Amino acid sequence: MSWKFWQQNAGWLALAVMWLVFFSPIISGQYVYFLDDLKIIYYPLELEYAKFQSAWELPHWSSLFGFGQPLISWGQLGFFTPLHLILRAAQVPPLALLQVSVAVYYVLGLFGAYLFGRQQKLAQAPSCLFASIFVFCGFSIGHLNHVNFYTSTMLLPWLLLAATALIKKPTLLITAAVAALAAAMAVSGQPQVITYSFSIAIIILTPILASHIRTVRRHKPKKIWRYSGTAVASTLAAGIISLSIASINILPLREFLPQTERNQTLPPEEYF
């Protein structure tokens, strides 16, 4: 390979090396990531999910969690997490599923953040730094064993990519991509994480939208109203589609979450 190739792809390669080194124990099969919440929540939850999915049923109440939980609306890991649905359909054992999940979602977050940096006109080195901080910072790694965290947050860079593309040039394909990504995040994580991820997206995208509107006004003033109408229509369409898809998870949460312990106020003695 030529020196030019290495120069042009240094960012990708550096991130690939980081990911391989960090997840090498799992990838090589020498280590199984299985501790804390993975043992007490997500592994048994995936065992139950696999039984329900193989029977083509929605996950109902289970006596295996607390005093009985409505699994589809517990506010933990979503039953409809896209990658997990596919792996369960392929009959991947729950423990192996969790290993594949963490490795795949973190590589998605890593390269998604890098692409977003490049989309914002950052050079390879700053984009690589941004991606590595996003994925390997203490906050993200501290939630490595919280499957209901990274299944949403690691899709955030891809939502930002698609939404930025929608801001710059609204099309049906990009609208569908935004809707699909938003829905995937909403059916995967716990409610707090979903809210957190979408809040960050709004904070980041607002100045991008404002900047693009100023650019259109300056260079194409006659097209500002047409652009505004198309952008608003595309955003509304993406929102309606994503909410419609995610309603299969959101509506049960709205109905049953108040009945679970996750909605209860902790007694004072729990704080001490």
Q: Give 272's pLDDT tier (boundaries 50, 70, 90).
A: very low
pLDDT reading at 5 higher than 60: yes
The span from the CA of 167 to the CA of 209, in Å, is: 6
What is the reported pLDDT for 228?
86
Q: Could you read off the pLDDT of 15-68 as tens digits, one per residue?
A: 999 999 999 988 887 777 777 788 888 898 899 899 999 999 888 777 777 656
Number of domains in the chain: 1
The verdict on residue 134 lying in a domain is: yes
Number of residues that this document lists for the chain: 272
The verdict on residue 216 lying in a domain is: yes
Q: What is the torsion angle, in degrees rounded to the nearest 10, for the CA atoms of residue 103, residue 15, residue 159 and residue 115?
A: -160
Angle at alpha carbon of residue 95, lines to 92 and 98, rounded to 5°: 85
Classify the phi-psi angles of 230: left when phi > 0, otherwise alpha if psi is within -120 to 50, otherwise beta. alpha
Q: Could you read off the pLDDT of 130-140 as tens digits, one per residue?
A: 999 999 998 88
The structure's pTM equals 0.89
Q: Could you read off the pLDDT of 95-151 as tens digits, one per residue?
A: 999 999 999 999 999 999 999 999 999 999 999 999 999 999 988 888 888 898 999
The verdict on residue 48 lying in a domain is: yes
Q: Which domain holds residue 91?
A: 11-260
The span from the CA of 252 to the CA of 106, in Å, is: 28
The verdict on residue 169 lying in a domain is: yes
Instruction: Write down the mean pLDDT value for the chain.
Output: 87
The verdict on residue 272 lying in a domain is: no
The verdict on residue 74 lying in a domain is: yes
The verdict on residue 271 lying in a domain is: no
The verdict on residue 64 lying in a domain is: yes
Contact by Cβ (8 Å): 21, 132: no
